[in-house]
Amino acid sequence: MDEYDQLREPGEPAGRATTPLSSARDALAPYLAASETGPFTKLSISLPEPLIATVREVSEQTGVSVSGVIAASLRRLLDEVLQARIDAALEEDREENLAWARATAPVHARLLADLEW
């Protein structure tokens, strides 16, 4: 099966297939609505033809320019990279935070017990 054949998401009923195009469109939806006022820079890039075909198809179906679809893809990628950094930083502090929470739990319990609700 090649990447452009119809695919089903795991656990999805057999009657409702998705394609990489619909998945791309859904994944980019929040980013396609972003409007930017510029300034803009013209850029010449080379991309594989199947990827360009998908970008153009998403562009046609959403009414967003090819540049807009590529910009939305980059915005999404940058958000994912930032979220991965945040997740990694939180994971680094996880053990220290748990130790602090365990150490202060008795004090917090006493404070809560003394509150008048």
Cα–Cα distances in angstroms (integers) from residue 44 to residues 31, 41, 47, 63, 106, in the given order: 22, 10, 10, 22, 62
pLDDT of residue 18: 58
pTM: 0.62
Residue 51, phi then psi, degrees to nearest 5: -70, -45
Residue 5, both tokens: 């054949």
In the block, residue with structure tokens 């890039």: 45
| Percentage of residues in the chain having pLDDT higher than 70 | 80
CA distance 79 to 48: 24
Question: What are the tens digits of pLDDT across the range 102-115?
Answer: 999 999 999 999 88
Domain segments of the chain as ranges: 20-34+46-114
Q: Confidence band (pLDDT; 50, 70, 90) for 36? A: confident
Nearest CA to 72 out of 21, 38, 34 is that of 34
Cα–Cα distances in angstroms (integers) from residue 88 to residues 20, 81, 83, in the given order: 29, 11, 9
CB neighbours of residue 18 within 10 Å: 14
